[in-house]
Structure formats: C-alpha cells, structure tokens
Amino acid sequence: MFRLLILAGLLVLPNGVRAAAACPPAALGTSRVLAVDAASTPRVGRKHFAATLSLQPKEVVLTFDDGPWPGTTPAVLAALRSECVKATFFVLGRNAIDHPEILRRELAEGHTVGHHTWSHPLLGRMAQSAAEAEIERGIAAVDRVLYGESGTAPVTPFFRFPGFASSPALLARRHIVVFGADLWASDWNPISPDAELRLVLHRLEQARGGIVLLHDTKRRTAAMLPAFLRTLKTRGFRVVHVVAAGQPSTR
C-alpha cells in the first residue's frame, strides 16, 4: 500500500519522485478540503436525496463517473492538473483492472477515488444478493489495484449507484457515503462540447454550486473541461475537494 504525503511543500509520489506542490496564481485551484463521514452524511445530492454536502454558495464538487478510460481520462486529468483542481472519480471495477496505470495516476495526482460497481448494472433491478456481489466485486477490484488489498470494505467509503438506481437495503449495514448529485452536464447525450459547457454553466448558476456529475469516459466532456474550469474561476466559483473523514488530502 502506498500513501501520498506533502512534505515541505513537495508532493511525494509513490515512486519517491517529488514534484512541486505550488499552484500558479492564475489557476483555479482547490479552495478547501471537506472531510465527509457516513455517520453524519450518509446520503448526499439533492437530485436524489433530501440533503447534500455542507457547501457555501458558489462552491463546487467535481465528480466523474465510469472510468478510467484510456481515450479520455488522461485528458481529464491533464485539465485538472493544469488548474490545480482535485476531483472525485467513481470508478468501475472492470475498468480499474483493464487500465490500472490510469487509476493509479488519479490517486497519485491527489484525487479521491470512490466506487461505482464492477460493470455498471442498474442495481435496483437486481436481486439483492446479486447486487451486493456486484458492489463488492467492484470495490475489491479498485482497492486491489490501488492498495494491494482484496477485501470488500472500501479504503475510501464513497459510492455512487449506476443510473442512481439505489435500493435502501443495499449498503444499509456499511459505513459508506452514497453520492447522488446536485446537477449534471447531461454528457451522456450527443451534444457538442460547447453545448455541454453552456448547459452545465447555466445549471451551476441556477443552483449556485453543488455536486456536479460528469463522465471522464466522454470525449465531449474531456474537450470542454479546460474551458469549464477557466470559466469557473472567472465567474467566482470555488472547487471543494471531498475526502473520507480520517484520510489525508494532497491539496
């Protein structure tokens, strides 16, 4: 298992290489770190649940689903790195196994890695035993790639249901934060990057911030992300990095 450390302003990567942790003045940056615990915040995202994260007006939490994917996730990571922004990736177990180097890069660059099942079925339509097995297989795959562990208790206890098809019985006995979203970019639709940019900015202005759902598997999202991050800064939005309570951040 490896851990990321900040020592004397340097980011210590898993292979021992040190990189400067300073952020250029013109970059958007990450404004603060928010530790989230399932005991106090078990379900978040007003599109699906009654409550959301404790965010101030114009604070944004960036989340990406379904990766890692070689054709798009590296570009997403590059855009985030260029603006010194930390995000949360809800990862599929099968993609973690197929593309372990990209998943390890997400963690090495300071992002939070959560869970999104093994293969993205709609769990609410499955028998409970099959749904639980799908969740556990995905968690074990991701954590095995990142930490060399094969247990079913996630190192980072964040989970998002595919298609938001949640079932109250699933995860009921687990100490896991279930993420919905406050708004999304609708990037599953065949729209241009410019149209996606206009849409998500409009929704952010209406909501005054919140948990934003994007997909790092979509080329349109990877293409629009640099402009999106620059516009967040010019419009006064601030990015919040969520981590599990008790775990360090590499902000």
User: What pLDDT does residue 51 have?
Assistant: 93
User: What pLDDT does residue 167 have?
Assistant: 74
- Cα 94–Cα 104–Cα 96 angle in degrees, nearest 5: 0
Q: Which pair of tokens denotes residue 105? A: 């890069």
DSSP string for 100-133: HHHHHHHHHTT-EEEE--SS---GGGS-HHHHHH
Rg (CA), the chain: 17
Domains observed in the chain: 27-244 (3.20.20.370)
Q: Strands (DSSP E) along the chain, which ranges?
A: 5-7, 10-12, 18-20, 32-36, 43-44, 59-65, 88-91, 112-115, 158-159, 177-179, 183-184, 210-215, 238-244
Contact 219, 189 (CB under 8 A): no
* Full-model pTM: 0.89
Helix (H, G, I), strand (E, B), or coil: what is residue 60?
A: strand
> Residue 240's beta-bridge partner residues?
32
Residue 182 annotated to the active site: no
C-alpha span between 37 and 39 (Å, rounded):
5
| Residues listed for the chain | 251
C-alpha span between 30 and 240 (Å, rounded):
6
DSSP 53: -
| Cβ within 8 Å of residue 90, ≥6 positions away | 63, 64, 65, 66, 114, 115, 116, 158, 159, 160, 179
User: What pLDDT does residue 16 have?
Assistant: 36
HSE, side-chain direction, 13 A CA sphere, residue 12 = 8
Residue with the two structure tokens 């968690």: 139
Among residues 120, 215, 216, 241, the one annotated as catalytic is 215
Among residues 65, 182, 187, 216, the one annotated as catalytic is 65
User: What pLDDT does residue 111 have?
Assistant: 98
Distance between first and last Cα of the chain: 20
Residue 48 annotated to the active site: no
Q: Which pair of tokens denotes residue 3? A: 């851990």
Q: How far, CA to CA in Å, does 231 sit from each of 27, 51, 88, 134, 238?
A: 11, 27, 20, 38, 11
C-alpha span between 18 and 192 (Å, rounded):
38
Q: What is the pLDDT along the chain (251 residues), one digit of tens a residue?
A: 334 443 333 344 443 333 445 788 899 999 999 999 998 899 999 998 999 999 999 999 999 999 999 999 999 999 999 999 999 999 999 999 999 999 999 999 999 999 999 998 878 788 889 999 999 999 999 999 999 977 778 999 999 999 877 776 777 778 899 999 999 999 999 999 999 999 999 999 999 999 999 999 999 999 999 999 999 999 999 999 999 998 755 55
User: What pLDDT does residue 233 have?
Assistant: 98
C-alpha span between 74 and 1 (Å, rounded):
23
